[in-house]
Amino acid sequence: MRSRQLLLAVLVTIFAILGSAVLVHAQDQITVGFAQTGSESGWRTAFTEAMIAEAESQNINLIFSDGQQKQENQIAALRSFIAQGVDAIILAPLVETGWDEVFQEAQDAGIPVFIIDRNVTADPSLYVTRIASDFVYEGRLAAAWLATATANREQCNIVELYGTVGSSAAIDRATGFAETIALFPNLELVASQSGDFTRTGGKEVMESFLNSLDPASICAVFGHNDDMLIGAIEAMKEAGIDPADDILTVSVDAIDDIFVSMMNGDANATVLLSPNMGVQAYAAIRSYLAGETLPALIPVPSAMYFQDTAAEEYAARTGG
């Protein structure tokens, strides 16, 4: 009899512990609204997938919105998140300006806003922090590699595949690149045009450069992202130009496809923009909701890859 009573007591205790654990787990779940710019590039798609996967692994109810490359869609998404009473909002802004009003609406509703990837010019008091790479540094890295690669050339004329006009990624990468090549008398930026971060745009812009300039006078192309550069590679090949040989290439993102291009000898170098920012973003949200003070910027580290390591890195990423 006593053994049965003891067993019953143990079972009651176990169920009580399990029940409270389930309750704590349920309470631990938060709802986050994530407004993405769109799906204009391979990197952006990988970024979205990483954010969704990380949310699932952290028991976060993620409400996702694809802005389809339109700021008005992102603003509408933020207002929808506010109406739904989410615990926090993550915004990957398409452009820098035009956010103050909707940020104020979120603040008035007591919902913290977190900026991820690109930057904004809004009043910093209207959002908590930004989780991002240093885009200026990415431009400097690309320029520094190009300066090294062309050190024995008297003159290197560079064309630039500019990203989305008004986006901090394009503004800052262009700034970092220009500041650095200004230190080298043999490097000169002779043309720059927006390809809007898309492969189609990159191809069209490169075709324009090849038609308006003497192709033999172009030493290198700097792409604000890999997708535009891959489009430019296609344009060069169609024009009978050997990319990465006749015209040097450097771009930003380090998506899988650029490693294939490097393995094929069609691209020279790429700067990493890590798509795996979900860990830092969700940790920042939980820390803020727990009452912690966060820095204005939570940096995401970068790196650079080249032809000679492309196959190894690609195999590591794809398992093949």
Every domain of the chain and the residues it spans: 31-133+275-289, 135-273+306-318
Domains 31-133+275-289 and 135-273+306-318 in one fold: yes
Please state, in angstroms and rounded to a whole number, the distance separating the CA atoms of residues 293 and 51. Answer: 23
Please state, in angstroms and rounded to a whole number, the distance separating the CA atoms of residues 118 and 196. Answer: 14
Task: Select from 249, 244, 248 the least CA-distant residue to 265.
Answer: 244
pTM of the model: 0.83
Pick the CATH number of 135-273+306-318 from 3.40.50.2300, 1.20.120.80, 1.10.645.10, 3.20.20.70: 3.40.50.2300
Segments of the chain scoring below 70 in pLDDT: 1-27, 320
Please state, in angstroms and rounded to a whole number, the distance separating the CA atoms of residues 110 and 82. Answer: 9
Looking at domain 31-133+275-289, does it have CATH number 1.10.3720.10?
A: no
Q: Give the pLDDT confidence score for residue 320 in this predicted structure.
A: 67
Q: Give the pLDDT confidence score for residue 28 in this predicted structure.
A: 75
Q: Give the pLDDT confidence score for residue 11 in this predicted structure.
A: 36
CA distances from 268 to 40, 41, 67, 140, 217 (A): 23, 20, 32, 16, 19
